[in-house]
Homo-oligomer: A and B are copies of this chain.
Amino acid sequence: MDVKAKLLEGNKRAAARIITWIESGDPRGYECLKDLYAHAGHAYVIGITGPPGAGKSTLTDQLVKRIRKTGKKVSIIAVDPTSPFTGGAILGDRIRMNDLTSDAGVFIRSMGARGYLGGISEATAPAIKVLDIMGSDVIIVETVGVGQSEIDIVKHADTTVMVTVPGLGDDIQTIKAGIMEIGDVFVVNKADRDGAKRTVLELEAMLDFNGESPWRPPVLQAIAQQGKGIEVLIEAIEKHEQFLRESGVFEAHRRRNIKSEILELIKKAVMIRVNDHSETEQMLDAYVDQIAAHEQNPFTAAEQIMAHIQFK
């Protein structure tokens, strides 16, 4: 049986192989996706993000365990965009609990940015698709860090859970201010620590400051390591899903993602053509020489190369 048929049957190894193809730029990865694309669209995608040390992995593990009790199949993508060179992506595996990895209804995949041309955030979307096609009911995308690429990754999530902890210091407070808008549900983890109440109040104040919006993100408390607060978190996610579907935002998001998927593919194809097309490739090299010698500028170079790219 071929890998595509296996993926449709829910085979985890098939999923792992296809994701590896996608990561490494092997065209077979995209061929599978292309042929099976119509089978995607069933899974609900939850993004888990927040600063390092917030306990995202532990929270994710607890969340998955609880969701598994309902019989739903869950996939986890642990994204570590900070590992672009070393083959990275050890984080998820390292911390991940053993009882999860032995559960047949759970698939775990760590992704670094190893070798992937377009940056990790571009590989995440097709990986989500693969796991969707595999038959996952829920896909959790967990990211490390708080940068732009994490925000790009989270765009593919239906519900984004922002995890933070009390007392991460002033720098983190500032960061929090910047990423408020990507959170649909906020969780103050390690809520038995000093200052948890204060962090909750600060988050609520920031959300108030952001003004009226059709969805007011709840600010929850959890102690993930003791399994506390997980039930409430699941309820909040379900409530958000209900809001998305009833308001039409769900549909709008999916359409936006489809459009950006197409545009990303076009970008990639154009880059390949510019680099491969003998005339534009030669032009490119010649321009680099001229610009390095201060005899030309990249803008004119891009314009001249664009003159060789025609839209009919």
Contacts and interface: CB of A to CB of B under 8 A. Distances in A.
Interface string A80-111: 11111110101100100000000000000000
A3 interface: no
B174 A91 contact: yes
Interface residues of A, number: 87
Interface stretch (A8-16, A214-222, A237-245, A270-278): A270-278
A23 interface: no
Contacts of A271: 263, 266-267
A175 B279 contact: no
B146 A145 contact: yes
A266 B274 contact: yes
A263 B254 contact: no
Contacts of A174: 90-91, 94, 144
B261 A298 contact: yes
Interface stretch (A61-69, A196-204, A228-236, A280-288): A280-288
Contacts of A146: 52, 82, 145, 147
A34 B300 CA distance: 7
Interface string A144-174: 1111111110000000000000001111101
Given A52-B146, A270-B309, A299-B37, A259 B288 contact: yes
A151 B113 CA distance: 11
B171 A144 contact: yes
Given A37-B298, A254-B292, 18 more contacts: A34-B297, A34-B300, A52-B171, A52-B175, A53-B168, A80-B178, A82-B147, A90-B174, A120-B148, A144-B171, A144-B175, A262-B298, A262-B305, A265-B299, A266-B305, A267-B271, A269-B302, A270-B306
Question: Lowest 7 CB-CB distances: which A-B pairs, in order?
Answer: A147-B147, A148-B149, A37-B297, A265-B302, A83-B178, A81-B148, A34-B299
